[in-house]
Amino acid sequence: MTHLITSLRSFAFGAADVESIQTTINRTEDNLLQLIYLVTGSIEKLEIPRPSSTRRADRLWAHTCFEAFIRADDDASYYEFNFSPSTDWAAYSFRDYRDGELLQDKNSAPKIVVRRDADSLELDAVICLDRLRAIRTGALLRIGLSAVIEANDGTLSYWALKHPGDKPDFHHPDSFALELAFPSQSA
């Protein structure tokens, strides 16, 4: 199992009520990728969608949402996953920078678990790497992790491992700042 911990940085000033966003990535030997997002701060001052029945939804990034972008190191194509604290999700497949569509594989649905208290919000999402056709076994993965946090007044803050431009752009190739080996099949 591969286990990585990192922190997201806010673009510009960020949300005053968020102290930090820490991410943990676990890749298991059976090619599952677990992404854990931990937000600490005054959670009651943030607009957090309430859990509901899990379903595919669009435009999750317009409110509090956690995101993962995944591509093979030598490929322009990539995947985007959106995870809402409501447990709604979205998945997209891109041929190149912002040139994509909904990921049509219904089996690509992540498993999402949310925990919340007064000073923290944790979202765990598990996706199956084997369902991502553009990711070859043995490839070095490039991953971008990000979050959009909505304050109670509707203000959005943008968080990512890396902000390469003068405005938030989680699709930018340089925002795929984390490297992770995708294991070869064992014999």
What is the tally of structural domains in the chain? 1
Residue 187 lies in a domain: no
Residue 158 lies in a domain: yes
What is the rounded distance in angstroms from the CA atom of residue 110 to the CA atom of residue 115? Answer: 16
What is the rounded distance in angstroms from the CA atom of residue 123 to the CA atom of residue 86? Answer: 10
Query: Among candidates 14, 109, 7, 8, which has minimal Cα distance to 57?
Result: 109
**Which 3 state secondary structure label does DSSP give 33?**
strand
CB-CB contact of 85 with 123 (8 Å): yes
CA atoms within 13 A on the CB side of 182: 21
For residue 57, give both structure tokens: 């939804």
State the pLDDT at residue 74.
Answer: 82
Residue 111 lies in a domain: yes
Residue 49 lies in a domain: yes
For residue 138, give both structure tokens: 């043995």
- Dihedral sign from CA coordinates of 107, 72, 98, 154: positive
Residue 186 lies in a domain: no
Residue 130 lies in a domain: yes
Structural domain boundaries, residue 169: 2-181
Please give the chain's pLDDT, 187 residues, in tens.
Answer: 666 778 888 875 566 789 999 999 998 878 889 999 999 999 999 999 998 888 999 999 999 999 999 999 888 999 999 999 999 999 999 999 999 999 887 778 899 999 999 999 999 999 998 888 888 777 789 999 999 999 999 999 999 999 888 888 999 999 999 998 766 554 3
Residue 169 lies in a domain: yes
Indicate which CATH number applies to the domain containing 176. Answer: 2.60.40.1190
